[in-house]
Amino acid sequence: MALIKDGKPASLVLADGQIFTGRSFGAEGTVIGEVVFTTGMTAYQETLTDPSYYGQIVTQTFPLIGNYGVNAADHESAQSYVGGYIVREWCNTPSNFRCEGTIDSFLKAHNIIGLYNIDTRRLTRSLREAGVMNGAITTSDPQEHLPELLAQIRAYAVRDAVANVTGTEQRIYQPEQVRRRVVLFDFGYKRNIRQSLLERGCEVIVVPAQTTAKEVAALHPDGIMLSNGPGDPSENTQIIENLREIAKLAIPMFGICLGHQLMALSQGARTEKLKYGHRGANQPVIDLASGRTYVTSQNHGYAVIGDSLDPDNAEVSHINANDHTCEGVRYHKLNAFTVQFHPEAHGGPLDTAYLFDEFTARMDAYKKEAE
């Protein structure tokens, strides 16, 4: 296994003035973004193609990345949305029968600037202590224009994230045998959400993020899926208003990650930005109904404030075992439930895949009542 050591000099400059000097791989240039870390030991390719990372520079805490290469079949979307990518070491000689290329070739193909050979443990500690902060990866000498670069870094904000990742038209996907029809809102959805529905006999109609209640009703779905996605959920005021009307259709609804947050906002709850978020495949979540703890895959920087939910309409169903933040909501007056984590995660734990089965059961009951 060969570890690359000959990249060009490159640096990470953080908003607080810290500079981490290493080597570059992937594309060259300068990119500014919100610097975050993820603790996943595998699934780096899924991370790189997850639209929820739009506008962010992603740091992998696991020290060796790329040892099984990349392949098109595991992409979560058609392109990469990360702003930049940081690892301790990367492997130039991947070994896997499904391998179609190296992580370096992937980054070059998607014009993503990578940085390696820095102390990612020190960087992660800084982000845990200070919270996520803006930063820039640059392959030029940052000292030559440091005041200007710091000003740009500190002024940066992730804006219009959903608008930049959602599709612009409807797309239909069919299983071998159609048993149900699901409208899947594309807030930056991961392909494995679609695949999880197809495997359960659902025809999936992927719709743009701004789709209205009238447009949803015209499709006559048996269920509505609210996907993951990037950015500050409260920024999406029109989508939140649309969801308020869509919920009145009484069609079964299931939300994941951003979809979970947007649904809560549509029902009068509030969200908050977490200090450094939850990103990785080992997040413990407690199901309050059963008391059981599940290992989950997560990628989010915001959370629903559980106490802001209307107790007559909703209750917190799951909490994070580490910080007790809200990880799920069940609605009393709506045919809806949502979770903050990813039950469809690949690669990652599949402990909570049963939630898709609950969704299909709700759809079947809804169809039976309509007959």
Instruction: Give the residue numbers marked as catalytic.
Output: 257, 342, 344
Please check whether residue 265 is in contact with residue 253, taking contact to mean a CB–CB distance below 8 angstroms: no
Q: Alpha-carbon distance 221 to 168, whole Å? A: 20
DSSP 8: P
Helices (H), the chain: 44-48, 103-109, 120-130, 146-155, 161-165, 191-198, 213-218, 237-247, 258-266, 354-370
3-state secondary structure at position 358: helix
Residue 156 — left, alpha, or beta (φ > 0 → left; ψ -120 to 50 → alpha)? beta
Compute how many other C-beta atoms are within 10 angstroms of the C-beta atom of residue 79.
Answer: 12
Q: Alpha-carbon distance 267 to 244, whole Å? A: 7
316: amino acid identity, one letter: V
Please check whether residue 287 is in contact with residue 351, taking contact to mean a CB–CB distance below 8 angstroms: no
